[in-house]
């Protein structure tokens, strides 16, 4: 009989689990530590209207590289990809800490994003490789604990560094985390590689990057850098759309497409990817704007504002750890629908309280929304992974992570444009509490619409508890990470 020790840190697979947890911690801390320091960063290097780019550029480079890394993970192996990603993330973090103005900080955040694109998707893929479906329901508790610690440590550290006027330390915190993660993975994670020729989809990768960059540039700078109805605006959107169409055409003919179109054509994968997009948009609406809303709207300190937001990232891992047991009992679809409904209710509630800033209400509602995220994100990802064989799991995981990251990137751009438009309409004073409250409320209303769409997407998940792969029987612990991985020759 299998015991808890068989999947714990003391088990045979324990060292790999620990390595995955530390690597996850790198991304988890970075996801929560920056937002609380935005006012301090702006006060030091300027550029309030540009600050959404700190999130957008990071999420953009992360998003467009996720499919590339996911494809490489299925060809040259998980280990090489994640070690490369952690190394690039480390370099980007050091450069961010040395930035001298907002443009340089934005540029270095892009490098961070290129590295981050490999970390979370590959850690999730590794977990899917080395644990069966039933085991993953219990492993969620370990992974959730990382996000739980980061939920408190990230905002707390970000708030403290901001109050101490030492925001650069926010990025230097990543240095020891990255080094430990690299060391653990290099030491403990082993793969059997099988050499085979592969054709890397360079054209598709370039077209995807260029198209998303142009589309996000048009959204974020529209109404600010240029008028929405200007020739520049039309030209950028048109160019982005043309490149996106070209990307689809290239992927249809590519021998090994970087983002196979079938991941958006199968009903289950289409629905779970759509859920991922809306989770990303709703999440960035809170993480990017709640701290500034509380700091300027009610005069909260960076630490207090960060802790209020931390309730979201506390609620998420708590629900994630419970969702594993729940979806084994009632199925992926039902569990995801519960999560989607909670997100919808929470975001609508936040939109209602937006005009009346309250630290307590924001903290409570953020916790509720986090619970909804946990009950919707985990089941949809595991359902997607469980619907395919090992050789497709990296691509499927990458597509789901890409959808969420793309949702965050697009959300940061769209919601940033909404906030800038409201600020401009009220006179352009981004230090006026009334102006910031109005801009944040508009963002929360938009997030509420997204929350409702998220719930609708969970309804679209096909009925039935078990996927075709699950019905064939769970993948044994000896199969996954020990199975052959094709290597580019």
* Cα angle for residues 97, 29, 47 (degrees, 5° grid): 45
Residue 444: its pLDDT value, please?
93
Residue 338: its pLDDT value, please?
94
Residue whose C-alpha is closest to residue 96's, from 137, 70, 61: 61
The mean pLDDT value for 431-457 works out to: 90
Q: Per the structure block, which two tokens stand in for 39?
A: 């006012």
Residue 192: its pLDDT value, please?
66
pLDDT tens digits along 237-260: 999 999 999 998 998 887 777 777
The mean pLDDT value for 102-116 works out to: 90
Helix axis angle, 78-97 relative to 14-33, nearest 10°? 30
CA distance 356 to 294: 11
Residue 464: its pLDDT value, please?
60
Q: Which of 308-312, 336-340, 430-434, 481-485 has the highest mean pLDDT?
A: 336-340
Q: Is the pLDDT of residue 308 over 70?
A: yes
Q: Name the residue ranges covered by the structural domains of the chain.
A: 9-201+255-488, 202-254
pLDDT tens digits along 91-102: 999 999 898 888
pLDDT band at 395 (very low <50, low <70, confident <90, very high): confident
pLDDT tens digits along 215-238: 877 776 766 677 778 888 899 999
pLDDT tens digits along 349-393: 999 998 888 889 999 999 999 999 989 988 888 888 777 776 677
Q: Which of 33-42, 161-170, 348-357, 468-477 has the highest mean pLDDT?
A: 348-357
Burial bucket for residue 360 (CB in 10 Å: 0-12, 13-18, 19+): exposed
Q: Compute the mean pLDDT over every residue in the chain, rounded to the nearest whole number.
A: 80
Residue 342: its pLDDT value, please?
96
Which of 32-36, 166-170, 214-218 has the least mean pLDDT?
A: 32-36
Q: Give the percent of the chain with pLDDT over 90.
A: 19
- Top pLDDT among 186 and 39 is at 186
Length, in residues, of the chain? 489
- Top pLDDT among 127 and 180 is at 180
pLDDT band at 2 (very low <50, low <70, confident <90, very high): very low
pLDDT tens digits along 249-289: 998 887 777 777 887 878 888 888 899 899 988 888 887 78
- Top pLDDT among 80 and 473 is at 80
Name the pTM for this structure: 0.73
182: number of Cβ within 10 Å: 20
Residue 471: its pLDDT value, please?
39
Q: Which CATH architecture has domain 9-201+255-488?
A: Up-down Bundle (1.20)
Residue 413: its pLDDT value, please?
73
CA distance 276 to 384: 11
pLDDT band at 465 (very low <50, low <70, confident <90, very high): very low
Residue 457: its pLDDT value, please?
92
Report the DSSP beta bridge partners of residue 248: none
Report the DSSP beta bridge partners of residue 484: 192
């Amino acid at each position: 009989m299998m015991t808890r020790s068989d999947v714990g840190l003391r088990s045979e697979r324990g060292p790999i689990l620990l390595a995955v947890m530390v690597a996850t911690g790198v991304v988890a801390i970075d996801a929560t530590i920056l937002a609380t320091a935005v006012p301090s960063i702006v006060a030091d290097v300027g550029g309030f209207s540009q600050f959404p780019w700190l999130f957008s550029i990071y999420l953009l480079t992360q998003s467009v590289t996720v499919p590339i890394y996911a494809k490489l993970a299925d060809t040259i192996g998980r280990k090489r990809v994640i070690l490369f990603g952690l190394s690039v993330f480390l370099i980007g973090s050091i450069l961010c800490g040395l930035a001298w103005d907002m443009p340089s900080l934005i540029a270095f955040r892009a490098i961070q994003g290129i590295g981050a694109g490999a970390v979370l998707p590959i850690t999730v893929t590794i977990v899917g490789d080395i644990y069966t479906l039933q085991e993953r329901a219990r492993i969620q508790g370990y992974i959730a604990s990382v996000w739980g610690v980061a939920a408190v440590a990230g905002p707390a550290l970000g708030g403290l560094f901001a109050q101490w006027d030492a925001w650069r330390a926010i990025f230097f915190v990543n240095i020891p985390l990255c080094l430990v993660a690299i060391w653990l993975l290099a030491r403990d994670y082993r793969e059997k590689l099988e050499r085979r020729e592969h054709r890397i989809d360079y054209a598709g990768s370039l077209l995807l990057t260029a198209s998303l960059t142009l589309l996000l540039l048009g959204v974020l700078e529209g109404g600010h850098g240029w008028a929405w109805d200007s020739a520049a605006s039309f030209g950028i959107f048109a160019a982005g759309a043309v490149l996106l169409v070209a990307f689809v055409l290239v992927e249809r003919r590519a021998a090994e497409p970087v983002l196979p179109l079938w991941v958006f054509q199968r009903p289950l994968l289409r629905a779970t990817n759509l859920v991922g997009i809306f989770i990303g948009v709703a999440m960035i609406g809170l993480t990017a704007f709640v701290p500034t809303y509380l700091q300027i709207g009610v005069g909260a300190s960076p630490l207090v504002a960060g802790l209020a937001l931390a309730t979201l990232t506390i609620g998420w891992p708590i629900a994630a750890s419970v969702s594993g047991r729940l979806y084994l009992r009632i199925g992926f679809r039902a569990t995801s629908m519960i999560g989607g409904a909670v997100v919808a209710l929470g975001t609508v509630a936040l939109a209602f309280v937006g005009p009346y800033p309250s630290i307590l209400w924001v903290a409570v509602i953020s916790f509720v929304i986090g619970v909804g995220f946990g009950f919707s994100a985990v089941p949809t990802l595991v359902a997607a992974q469980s619907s395919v064989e090992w050789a497709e799991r990296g691509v499927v995981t990458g597509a789901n992570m890409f959808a969420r990251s793309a949702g965050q990137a697009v959300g940061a751009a769209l919601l940033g444009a909404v906030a800038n438009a409201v600020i401009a309409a009220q006179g352009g004073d981004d230090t006026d509490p009334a102006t910031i409250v109005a801009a944040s409320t508009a963002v929360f209303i938009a997030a509420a619409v997204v929350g409702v769409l998220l719930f609708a997407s969970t309804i679209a998940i096909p009925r039935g508890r078990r996927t075709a792969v699950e019905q064939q029987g769970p993948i044994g612990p000896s199969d996954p990470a020990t199975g052959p991985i094709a290597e580019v020759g």
